[in-house]
Structure 1
Amino acid sequence: MMYLNRLRFIRNAALISLLFFIGCKKKEGVDTVQKPPVEEEVVPALSTIKSGLVDKSATDETAWLFYNMQTVARKHTLFGHQDATKRGVINSSTSWANEQHLPAVSKEKSDVKEVTGSYPVVYGHDFNYIAGWAEGGWFDYERQIAKELTIEAYNRGGINTYSWHYSNPVSKGSFNWNESPVEAVSRILPGGSHHEVFKGSLQQVANYAKSLIAADGKLVPVIFRPFHEMDGGWFWWGKGHCTPAQYKELFQFTVTYLRDELGVRNFLYCWSPGGDYTTLTQYLEFYPGDSFVDILGTDNYGLNANVSNTTISNKLKIVSDYAKQKSKIAAFTETGQQNLTNNKWYTEKLLASMEAQKIEMAYVLVWANTTSSYWTPYKNHSAEADFLQFKSSSYVMFANELKRPMYKHPQ
């Protein structure tokens, strides 16, 4: 027995010595365990990127924006806010707004930045007061401040997207059908009675786009999102006020005229229906075609207690999957809960819906904070903690987390 114990002692001691030797060798850098190689990004040639865009002659910065957004979307969603540095909440605890009837404030101010310490990445704007027939000092101010804020957003590395709540070009009334129930689409198409009026508005869009010269001397790229939510009836270009064929022709003419006739080179073109679809066929009912769309979007304000996260996630996945199939970008172009009646809306509805199936959305944009309503919490609001938790998710990216240059080669 003593002999056997001695043998066990010698064997264990030898084993310990061997393990110690191996451990020392590992520390000396001779570890034979292979670590997985770091995946290097293979960046395509700029000409290859441009060949996949609606505008093959887009500026370099516009093409790089497309590529970098598409790449970021594989792992992250960029956060966006309409009128992010233009307007803010006014209440008893905080008071600011870049409104004309109020004292001027710094254009660097932002409700999102006040709460999180960071700007959003995506800044939402509108051509409503830029392309149309509104006149007077108030509208002149709106045009000028939009231009300044767009350039400033680009200068700090942000991304600009423009919708177009286009006033009815036939009645010259509201973009809202209920306020101006005059059919216009058929009349502004080629051969229609108001086609030249429409072309005049597109000229205004083009003139403005060409005026967006940044600090680096470059044209600011813009994600242009005209005639959105066409699958609903609330806008004059919506369902029931034109046929799908007429809508498609309208969108196609808009892109072709801006690109080929007016020479706009700093646009990515985005198309975004509302959120009532449940199938790809329904989503694509008004789709103008791959040759006219860079970014496939969706607007959906239905993220509430009565709609499951799975339902929302499935809708987003339809867009995300189709965008990947077509080598385009998907985006959650409008959403939000007005006045945040659910203090955990950002984590329990928005984030949960997007994370459920690892949806690849380049960005998500919530609507504007104004003097009468808000879509992001302001300082000391009861949803502030939830918004900070939302920001902390690795799935979401704000400006201070964005290390990738969006307008040039990423390496």
Structure 2
Amino acid sequence: MKKSIVLIMICSAFMNISCDGTQESNKKPSDPQATERAVSLYNRLFQLMDKGVMMGHQDDLAYGHQNYNPGASDVKEVTGDYPAVTGWEIGHLELGADRSLDSVYFDKMREGIIETDARGGINTMSWHGDNIITGGSTWDCKGNDVVHSVLPGQPKHDEFIQWLDRLAAFFNTLKDKNGEYIPVVFRLYHEHNSSWFWWGAEQSTPEDYIAMWRMTVDHFRKAGVNHLLFAYSPSSCTDEAAYLERYPGDEYVDIVGFDIYQFGDDEAAIQNYCRDMKHNMDIVTKYAAKAGKIPTVSETGWEGIKQADYFTKVIAPLLEPYKISWILFWRNAWEPDKPGHFYLPYKGHESAEDFKKMVSQPRFLMNQDINN
């Protein structure tokens, strides 16, 4: 009996096993001063990967498709449960506006983030900030000096720091019922290897892009914003070298992913998407394993979903061989002029039952699944 107790104690010391027999984690995120809740989320993400892949949806609580109704969830209407991961977009927060570029009031966004966190869901954010030189949108790619202009010592640096301070102030209003900061995954300057954003490959050098990323993260940390996990997500890449060309370093990144969409409605388009998805999941999962990071599919989808069995016939088989933390589908637009702009089915859509069938499989995790 004593030998058994000694053996248990020795095994616990080496394997970090808790008294109830479950294995504990002690992984540290990139921020040395990360809050307890941020550390807890980071470890939880690793643990949940052993359980399955979490289902995510951009702006899920912000509105429904063709229905501007804050708090509504197309995913819940279809499946009976919320997605495990909810995405939010904070573009225009940097301007001091009261609503995002998708017309979501930031007060309502805060409520949605708090609600998601309270039921055990995970919040992730993207930021399509405006072009600070032209005053145009994120997609205004005139010139190739925007990134360089915001670096220390450059003309737009001080103004850009004011933008970051507005973001930091918002992040610091995200608190749970106990007054603790809610941890959020912040996906910075994404799809940077393409050239449709002002921080893209044709608009900046790798050195300037990396400097801007590090400057941004360092500023948040100095401002006492220590409840963010940072996600790196280029578009489709040819190989690991291309994937890492603008990588800011492991000390500035917690989560690695990629953004990829299906374009075109025929069988060839589906096959191209499957090929590119597999190729990029290979790159991301291998690097994540090597660097000790969380791998994700950080943005994806097929606008309009024109195949009734798309989720069980295409998405589920694609993900089956991979250990991925989550897959996030893009938003279901509320705007009247965007009737075909949706990436998960809404109630009544022909693929709704198929999506419900897919997420009912044990491998796919919805909100209730990650809290059981």
| 138 and 378 in structure 1: CA distance in 2 versus 1, 3 angstrom threshold | closer
Q: Which residue of the partner structure matches residue 310 of structure 2?
A: 345
Q: Which residue of the partner structure matches residue 367 of structure 1?
A: 330
Q: Which residue of the partner structure matches residue 298 of structure 2?
A: 333
Q: Which residue of the partner structure matches residue 23 of structure 2?
A: 42
Shift of 1:314: 2.5
One-letter identity of the residue aligned with 2:354: D
1:305 aligns with 2:266: no
Q: Which residue of the partner structure matches residue 43 of structure 2?
A: 67
Query: SS at the partner of 2:371?
Result: coil
- The question of whether the paired residues in 1 share the 8 Å contact of 2:358 and 2:364 is answered with yes
| 114 and 206 in structure 1: CA distance in 2 versus 1, 3 angstrom threshold | same
Whole-angstrom CA distance in 1 between matches of 2:273 and 2:344? 21
Whole-angstrom CA distance in 1 between matches of 2:156 and 2:276? 41
Query: SS at the partner of 2:95?
Result: coil
Shift of 1:218: 1.6
Task: Give the superposed CA RMSD.
Answer: 2.1
| 308 and 81 in structure 1: CA distance in 2 versus 1, 3 angstrom threshold | closer
Shift of 1:401: 1.8
Query: SS at the partner of 2:210?
Result: helix
Whole-angstrom CA distance in 1 between matches of 2:102 and 2:239? 41
Query: SS at the partner of 1:161?
Result: strand
Residue-by-residue CA offset, 1:218-246 (whole Å, 9 max, x unaligned): 21111011100000000000001001111
TM-score (norm 2): 0.87
Residue-by-residue CA offset, 1:12-44 (whole Å, 9 max, x unaligned): xxxxxxxxxxxxxxxxxxxxxxxxxxx943213
Aligned match for 1:89, one of 51, 55, 65 = 65
One-letter identity of the residue aligned with 1:113: K
Identity %: 31
| 140 and 311 in structure 1: CA distance in 2 versus 1, 3 angstrom threshold | closer
Shift of 1:73: 1.2
TM-score (norm 1): 0.79
Query: SS at the partner of 1:307?
Result: helix
One-letter identity of the residue aligned with 1:127: I
Aligned match for 1:246, one of 208, 216, 227 = 208
- Unaligned runs of 5+ residues in structure 2 are 1-19, 264-268
Aligned match for 1:203, one of 159, 165, 179 = 165
1:324 aligns with 2:292: no
1:290 aligns with 2:271: no
| 142 and 183 in structure 1: CA distance in 2 versus 1, 3 angstrom threshold | farther
- The question of whether the paired residues in 2 share the 8 Å contact of 1:129 and 1:143 is answered with no
Aligned match for 1:174, one of 120, 137, 152 = 137
Query: SS at the partner of 2:112?
Result: helix
Query: SS at the partner of 2:368?
Result: helix
Whole-angstrom CA distance in 2 between matches of 1:384 and 1:350? 14
Q: Which residue of the partner structure matches residue 376 of structure 1?
A: 344
- The question of whether the paired residues in 1 share the 8 Å contact of 2:31 and 2:251 is answered with no
Whole-angstrom CA distance in 2 between matches of 1:133 and 1:167? 12
Residue-by-residue CA offset, 1:213-272 (whole Å, 9 max, x unaligned): 12232211110111000000000000010011111111111111111x211011001110
Shift of 1:378: 1.2
Q: Which residue of the partner structure matches residue 280 of structure 1?
A: 240
Query: SS at the partner of 1:268?
Result: strand
- The question of whether the paired residues in 2 share the 8 Å contact of 1:221 and 1:268 is answered with yes
Shift of 1:139: 9.3
Whole-angstrom CA distance in 1 between matches of 2:86 and 2:159? 29
> What pairs with 1:384-399 in structure 2 (closer than 5 Å)?
384-399=352-367
Residue-by-residue CA offset, 1:142-173 (whole Å, 9 max, x unaligned): 21111111111111111110101010112221
Whole-angstrom CA distance in 2 between matches of 1:82 and 1:269? 17
Q: Which has the larger radius of gyration?
A: 1
1:183 aligns with 2:148: no
1:145 aligns with 2:145: no
Q: Which residue of the partner structure matches residue 56 of structure 2?
A: 80
> What pairs with 1:13-52 in structure 2 (closer than 5 Å)?
40-44=21-25, 48-49=26-27, 52=28
- The question of whether the paired residues in 1 share the 8 Å contact of 2:184 and 2:227 is answered with yes
Whole-angstrom CA distance in 2 between matches of 1:111 and 1:135? 24
Query: SS at the partner of 1:119?
Result: coil
Q: Which residue of the partner structure matches residue 229 of structure 2?
A: 268
Q: Which residue of the partner structure matches residue 124 of structure 2?
A: 161
Shift of 1:384: 1.1
Whole-angstrom CA distance in 1 between matches of 2:183 and 2:48? 17
